[in-house]
């Protein structure tokens, strides 16, 4: 088992990474009260709920099982958590445990932040995406019909437990979606990691435990460092959103759940690479290296066929990165060096939105 | 104008108290961005919205007018705030201003805490209750069908602007409701203030500006000191809830909005006085002094006729002050000295719930 620390003063917490962490007392050691609510979904519950609960016999445990999917990341589903907590009379010393992917973690975290104005919270992420990204750093929330993640809180967990063995039950499409965020860390701040990923992509896709642990550890370490430097995203933390402004526009336009978050981020990252290249900040070969790696991870590298430049602009206007009406984007000054910037012309943005992504995508056999 | 500081490190903020603060640049000086959303309700908007907006001509202002009343302190109404912010494309540098009473302040504050995971927030309370209590200290939230204030956040404003002249438009019943919290400060931590209130109750009820400013200043100073010592209510802050556990049970049982919050707190405070006296901690004369003061303020001092001891116990079981299944109450060791305690028998609690409050109430002419 490997342990990382997210360093946030009195809100610091550990990330535990290893196989079979769901079994044993790894979870119970971080629970301070006597009541526990395990928030999970219909897909994950049959796989892991009973195993996790088996080690909590000295606690009063309330399972809260939500419907599965990004389409349910809304207030109506959040209410099910509050209903469950109140019906079982959980007090303010309860602990909310998120068992599942990013949607479960975001909703359970926001529920923990809001229930009685804040109770303890522990993340047990079971998808690669949530293990390397959403479970670390304290961003929680739900979607609004007019925008993704518009309602939420910065709320740090007591601990994050990453059991790499849970990835054996993850659909291949979701494994790929998680790899989009893994590749992101290489692109924004760890160029050598890109080389490691190029050398180990097949091992990752084959769920080699050592390769997974290495990739997750390196991703979480990158995220923990960025979050420690800028918890509330006033500066450098925004670089974690490489590809996300374009990606959120894709998700909103297609309807939540049609594209997986990681898939939308992948296509959005290709657009950010293209724009960085058009601005002359990275070489065409750099762009193609990123696109090729996303493609090898099984990810889409072309935005939706029916989505116009106008569609993108409309959805991007309500993005959280819009400051005083000015659009800010995460772009690359080099591979491994991201910046948050509004230092680009409207022309370059529109040229990026109108680019022929099918043409720039290298053939899978290239 | 008087100014108080709530001392919370980097989250410190000023409370400004004076006449006609709604006019002038008192508000605009505390706004950091260019966008402002003024959250108010149908009753307050015709009185003060235009006056407040007149001094914000260099900002982009979105008024958001909610229905009036505790019955609307729920998610459906909160959504109206998010809808208004998103429709007008407010970004994360916007400022949410609460113009109204406690319900508006609690909902606008929770909306500010949650919108894009937290934006700036300013309180402009227009009821005595919100001026002396809810606008100071950062408690925000909404009700749930199974419990009052169950969903929310601790979220501090940038500033609190208290315009005492707004009390001239406040119904007498709501002025009295505010006085319940004013009297509370005397009971829990400022015994000399009780003497001042006994000497000045008629001036307060006649809206004498100097008496109001004194009472508000002294109440806010007491609250600011308690909040600075214990922001997240792990200890002493809970003493501010004198009468509130009984009071919340009354509000929940009667249905939100049937009794004003201050009215329920008043009857609840009488119950806390009675229980403290039954425990032998205060004298009968102390109890009667508190009851008499609440009565002179025009407040109910007898719980609802149809509400049984069983009704109270049922509603109190989900109170936020229940820790690990044990009921904790705010009681008085002396006038001016409150404690949070579970050091009482079930018998004394039941005897308190079954007491004949009509009998112990002194005649208005006594």
CB-CB: which of B91, B114, B322 is closest to A323? B91
Residue A211 pLDDT exceeds 80: yes
The 10s digit of each residue's pLDDT in B12-25 is 999 999 998 999 89
Is residue B366 situated within a structural domain? no
Residue B40 pLDDT exceeds 50: yes
Q: How far is CA A59 from CA A33, A78, A323, in A?
A: 8, 23, 46
The 10s digit of each residue's pLDDT in B158-203 is 999 999 999 999 999 999 999 999 999 999 999 999 999 999 999 9
Looking at residue A48, what is its pLDDT? 97
Q: Which of A196-205, B240-249, B320-329 has the lowest mean pLDDT?
A: B320-329
Q: Give the minimum alpha-carbon distance from A92 to chain B in angstroms, rounded to a whole number.
A: 6
- Is residue B205 domain-shared with residue B295, that is, in the same domain? yes
Looking at residue A366, what is its pLDDT? 46
Q: Do A322 and B144 touch (CB under 8 A)?
A: no
Is residue B55 situated within a structural domain? yes
Rounded to a whole number, what is the largest CA-CA distance in chain A?
A: 62
Q: What residue numbers bound the domain in which B144 lies? A: 2-169
Q: Please indicate whether residue B181 is annotated as part of the active site.
A: yes
Average confidence (pLDDT) over B75-92: 96
- The catalytically annotated residue of B214, B217, B218, B241 is B241
- H or E element at residue B187: helix B172-189
**CA atoms lying within 13 Å on the CB side of residue B177:** 23
- Is residue A85 domain-shared with residue A143, that is, in the same domain? yes
Single out the residue in A168, A198, A231 at which a domain terminates: A168
- Is residue B181 domain-shared with residue B71, that is, in the same domain? no
Residue A170: which of A256, A260, A257, A241 has the closest Cα? A260
Indicate the pLDDT class of residue A318, thresholds 50, 70 and 90. low
The 10s digit of each residue's pLDDT in B90-100 is 999 999 999 99
Residue A317 pLDDT exceeds 80: no
CATH of the domain at A242: 1.20.1090.10
Residue B365 pLDDT exceeds 80: no
Q: Do A82 and B150 touch (CB under 8 A)?
A: yes
Single out the residue in B137, B169, B201 at which a domain terminates: B169
Looking at residue A364, what is its pLDDT? 54
Is residue B163 situated within a structural domain? yes
- Tell me if B86 is assigned to a ligand binding site: no
What is the Cα Rg of chain B in Å? 20
Single out the residue in B169, B196, B231 at which a domain terminates: B169
The 10s digit of each residue's pLDDT in A161-170 is 999 999 999 9
Q: Please indicate whether residue A337 is annotated as part of the active site.
A: no
Average confidence (pLDDT) over A20-29: 92
- Is residue B160 domain-shared with residue B281, that is, in the same domain? no
Report yes or no: A247 and A268 within 8 Å, Cβ to Cβ.
yes
B60-66/B337-341 β-pairing: unpaired
- Is residue B208 domain-shared with residue B317, that is, in the same domain? yes
Q: Show residues of chain A in contact with B86, CB under 8 Å.
A: 144, 146-147, 150, 318
- Tell me if A53 is assigned to a ligand binding site: no
- Is residue A72 domain-shared with residue A187, that is, in the same domain? no
The 10s digit of each residue's pLDDT in A230-239 is 988 888 999 9
Q: Do B146 and A317 touch (CB under 8 A)?
A: no
- Is residue B191 domain-shared with residue B264, that is, in the same domain? yes
CATH of the domain at B138: 3.40.50.1970
Asked if A322 has any chain B CB less than 8 Å from its own CB, the reply is yes
Region of A280 on the Ramachandran plot (φ > 0 left; ψ -120 to 50 alpha; else beta): left
Looking at residue A147, what is its pLDDT? 83
Is residue B16 situated within a structural domain? yes
The 10s digit of each residue's pLDDT in B100-151 is 999 999 999 999 999 999 999 999 999 999 999 989 999 999 999 988 899 9
Average confidence (pLDDT) over B270-298: 97
- The catalytically annotated residue of A41, A143, A174, A181 is A181
| Mutation site for A-interface testing, chosen from B31, B91, B156 by largest number of A Cβ within 10 Å | B91
Asked if B139 has any chain A CB less than 8 Å from its own CB, the reply is yes
Report yes or no: A16 and A162 within 8 Å, Cβ to Cβ.
yes
- Is residue B191 domain-shared with residue B216, that is, in the same domain? yes
For residue B59, give the chain A residue with the closest CA.
Answer: A324
- Residue A158 tokens read as 């007591």
CA quadruple B121, A137, A160, A173: dihedral positive or negative? positive
Looking at residue B322, what is its pLDDT? 64
Is residue A12 situated within a structural domain? yes
Q: Do A117 and B152 touch (CB under 8 A)?
A: yes
Q: Do B153 and A322 touch (CB under 8 A)?
A: no
Is residue A266 situated within a structural domain? yes
Indicate the pLDDT class of residue B366, thresholds 50, 70 and 90. very low
Q: Please indicate whether residue A233 is annotated as part of the active site.
A: yes
More confident of the two residues A335 and B231: A335
- Is residue B164 domain-shared with residue B181, that is, in the same domain? no
- Is residue A51 domain-shared with residue A131, that is, in the same domain? yes
CA A94/CA A32 separation, integer angstroms: 8
Mean confidence (pLDDT) of chain A: 93
Residue A38: which of A164, A140, A123 has the closest Cα? A123
Residue B273 pLDDT exceeds 80: yes
- Is residue B11 domain-shared with residue B158, that is, in the same domain? yes
Is residue A99 situated within a structural domain? yes
Residue B320 pLDDT exceeds 70: no
- The catalytically annotated residue of B30, B90, B139, B328 is B139
Q: Show residues of chain A in contact with B58, CB under 8 Å.
A: none
- Is residue A254 domain-shared with residue A299, that is, in the same domain? yes
CB-CB: which of B141, B146, B153 is closest to A153? B153
Indicate the pLDDT class of residue B324, thresholds 50, 70 and 90. low
Average confidence (pLDDT) over A3-29: 93
CA quadruple A77, A83, A89, A92: dihedral positive or negative? positive
Is residue B211 situated within a structural domain? yes
The 10s digit of each residue's pLDDT in A110-157 is 999 999 999 999 999 999 999 999 899 999 999 999 888 999 999 999
ipTM field: 0.87
The 10s digit of each residue's pLDDT in A65-89 is 999 988 899 999 999 999 999 999 9
- The catalytically annotated residue of B29, B117, B324, B346 is B117
Look at chain B and report how many structural domains it folds into.
Answer: 2
**CA atoms lying within 13 Å on the CB side of residue B53:** 16
């Amino acid at each position: 088992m490997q342990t990382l620390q997210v360093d946030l003063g009195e809100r610091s917490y550990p990330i535990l990474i290893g196989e079979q962490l769901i079994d044993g007392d790894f979870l119970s050691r971080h629970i301070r009260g006597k009541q526990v609510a395990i928030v999970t979904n219909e897909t994950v519950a049959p796989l892991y709920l009973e195993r996790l609960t088996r080690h909590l016999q000295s606690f009063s445990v309330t399972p809260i099982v939500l419907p599965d999917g990004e389409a349910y990341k809304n207030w109506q589903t959040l209410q099910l958590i509050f209903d469950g907590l109140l019906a079982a009379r959980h007090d303010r010393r309860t602990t909310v445990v998120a068992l599942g992917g990013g949607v479960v973690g975001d909703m359970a975290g926001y529920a923990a932040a809001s229930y009685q104005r804040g109770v303890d919270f522990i993340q047990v992420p079971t998808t690669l995406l949530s293990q390397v990204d959403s479970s670390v750093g304290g961003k929680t929330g739900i979607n609004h019909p007019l925008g993704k993640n518009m309602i939420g809180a910065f709320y740090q967990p007591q601990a994050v437990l990453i059991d790499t063995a849970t990835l054996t039950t993850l659909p291949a499409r979701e494994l790929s979606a998680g790899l989009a965020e893994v590749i992101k860390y290489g692109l924004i701040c760890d160029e050598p990691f890109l080389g490691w990923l190029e050398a180990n992509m097949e091992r990752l896709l084959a769920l080699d435990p050592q390769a997974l642990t290495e990739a997750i550890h390196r991703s979480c370490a990158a995220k923990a460092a960025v979050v420690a430097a800028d918890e509330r995203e006033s500066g450098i933390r925004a670089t974690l959103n490489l590809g996300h402004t374009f990606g959120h526009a894709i998700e909103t336009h297609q309807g939540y759940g049609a594209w997986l978050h990681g898939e939308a981020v992948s296509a959005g990252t290709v657009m950010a690479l293209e724009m960085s290249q058009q601005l002359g900040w990275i070489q065409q070969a750099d762009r193609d290296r990123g696109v090729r790696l996303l493609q090898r991870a099984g990810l889409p590298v072309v935005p939706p066929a029916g989505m116009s430049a106008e569609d993108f602009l409309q959805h991007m206007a309500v993005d959280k990165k819009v400051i005083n009406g000015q659009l800010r984007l995460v772009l690359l000054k080099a591979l491994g060096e991201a910046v948050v910037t509004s230092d680009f012309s409207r022309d370059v943005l529109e040229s990026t939105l109108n680019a022929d992504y099918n043409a720039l995508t290298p053939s899978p056999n290239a």
